[in-house]
Amino acid sequence: MTREEKRARKTELQRQRRAANPEKAREATRAWQAANRETMRECRRRYRAKNPKQSIEHNRKWYAANREKTIARVRRWQAAHPNPEKKREYDRKRHAANPVKARARAREWQASHPAQSRERVRKWIAANPERFREGARKRARRWQTANPEKMRKSCLQWKTANPEACRAYAANRRALNKGAEGQHTAFDIAALWKAQDGKCAACRGTLPVAGKHRYHVDHIVALSKGGSNWPKNIQLLCPRCNLSKHNRDFTEWARIINPAGI
C-alpha cells in the first residue's frame, strides 16, 4: 500500500466514524479546537490571506444569519472599550447617511427607554439653554399657528388669571411704540409695591389696590421726555397724584405741588 493509499484509507475511516456518531465527532472537534486555539487562529489567518473574497463573503453570510449575536458581541466589545469620540463620529455619519431612519431609530429608543430618555433631555437642556429656548419658541409658534381657537381661549384664561402681568405687558408695548427702551414685569411692580409699603410715592397716601381707581404705574421721567421703561424709572402713584402730574417730569411736578420743597 502506498503512502497516498494509506492516507486515503485513514480519511475514509475517519469519515465513516464521524458519520456513525456525528454528535461525538462534533464534540471531539470542538475539544481539539479549544485545545489548539493558536493553531486554529493561524489556519484561519492563512486561509483568509489566500482566499480574501471567499473570506469576506463567508463573514457577510455569517453576520446576516447571526444578526442578534453579532450586535450583542459588538455591544459587549464597545462596553469593554469605550471610545465616545469615535462613537459620536460614527453616529454623526450614520445620521447624515439616512436622517429619516435615524430619527425613527431615536424614537424607538426613546419609547423603550423613557427614564434614560428624560435624563438625556434634561442634561441637554442644562448644557444648551439658549438652543432649548429658541426651539421652544419655534414649537410654540408652530402650535399657535396650527391651533388659533385653542390659542385664543388659553390667552383669555391667562389674562384673567394674571391681570398684573397683563398690565405690565400692555405698558411694555406702549413704551416700545413710543420708542422708549427697557421693560418691566409684574414682579418688578410687586417689588415696587413692597418697597413703597403700599403707599403713593408722592403723597404717601395708601394706594388703592383694585377697581377703577387703582394705583397707577408712573414713569418718573416721562417716556415722551426720553425716560426709560426700566423698573428704576418707575414708581407707583395714587390716581389723583398721577393725573395731576400728567406727563411732567417728576421733579418739575414736585416743585409745582410743593414749591418750598418741604
Nearer Cβ to Zn ion (175/200): 200
CB of 167 to Zn ion, least distance (A): 19
Burial of 112 (0-12, 13-18, 19+ CB in 10 A): exposed
Nearer Cβ to Zn ion (184/216): 216
Nearer Cβ to Zn ion (222/238): 238
CA distance 207 to 175: 23
Q: Residue for cell digits 411704540?
A: 177
Q: In this structure, is the dihedral angle defined by the CA atoms of residues 87, 89, 90 and 92, taken in order, positive or negative?
A: positive
CB of 203 to Zn ion, least distance (A): 3
Nearer Cβ to Zn ion (203/221): 203
Nearer Cβ to Zn ion (169/193): 193
CB of 259 to Zn ion, least distance (A): 17
Half-sphere exposure of 97 (CA within 13 A, CB side): 6
H-only helix segments in 2-83:
3-20, 22-35, 37-50, 52-65, 67-80
CB of 220 to Zn ion, least distance (A): 14
Residues that bind Zn ion in the complex, under the rule CB under 5 A? 200, 202-203, 238, 241
182 phi/psi in degrees, rounded to 5:
95, 165
CB of 237 to Zn ion, least distance (A): 5
